[in-house]
Amino acid sequence: MSIAQPVAASEECLAQAHLRTLDQCHKGETLCIEALVEQPEFGDGDASVSMRLKELGFLPGARLTILGYGFLGRDPLSVKIAGTKFALRRREASKLLVSTVEASA
């Protein structure tokens, strides 16, 4: 069984698909994870961070809601995914490529 490798997302690619990283989103938004992307800040540990996020349930197709931010809007981000609340650093959140879930009528 092969594991999908994270891909680097260019600014142009993000703009065309109306996607953004989780750290660019706002409190109260409901989002769908589209992919995990490379984050050069993690260096050689990038694959380990991606794997840990996946183990926690941050998988493509999963929906999450941003509950809030830490002191002065900084770290950590509080999110709820599959009924569980998590706190993520902005660096970790920047690995998650998300799209907005439209509210159903």
Distance, in Å, from the CA atom of 103 to the CA atom of 86, rounded to the nearest integer, reads 23
Nearest-Å Rg of the Cα atoms of the chain is: 13
Segment 67-90, tens digit of pLDDT? 999 888 788 999 999 999 999 999
If pLDDT is split at 50, 70 and 90, which confidence band does 51 have?
very high
Of the candidates 28, 40, 81, which has an alpha carbon nearest to the alpha carbon of residue 58? 81
Q: How many domains does the chain have?
A: 1
Query: In terms of residue numbers, what domain contains 83?
Result: 11-100
Q: What is the CATH number of the domain that holds 48?
A: 2.30.30.90
